[in-house]
Amino acid sequence: MQSQDVTFIPPYTYSRQPTIKAACIQAILKAAPAKAHRATVVNGWHTSKSDKRSHCTADYYDSENVHLGRKHVV
């Protein structure tokens, strides 16, 4: 998986903050499962009740578009 395989919902997320977007993409790539072919960032950098760390939330998919799971990526 490469940086162009990471998309954001909504697509304009971090469009005016390319450095933050690049950091999120790199974190998503680093945490990707072995079979991951693409990832969709469903929530950019944030904290939550379930995870107090600053993290991005991403859904990972394999080459057949099968959902591999959702991860909090720090």
One-letter amino acid identity for 58? A
Structural domains in the chain (count): 1
pLDDT at 50: 84
pLDDT at 33: 97
Alpha carbons 53 and 57: distance in angstroms, whole number: 12
The token pair at 44 is 């950019």
pLDDT at 51: 85
**pTM for the structure as a whole:** 0.92
Ramachandran assignment for 49, one of left (phi > 0), alpha (psi -120 to 50 degrees), beta (any other): alpha
Alpha carbons 26 and 34: distance in angstroms, whole number: 15
List pLDDT tens digits, range 26-69: 999 999 999 999 999 999 999 988 888 899 999 999 999 999 99
Q: Is the confidence at residue 2, as pLDDT, over 90?
A: yes
60: domain range? 3-73
Nearest residue to 27 via CA among 48, 54, 52: 54
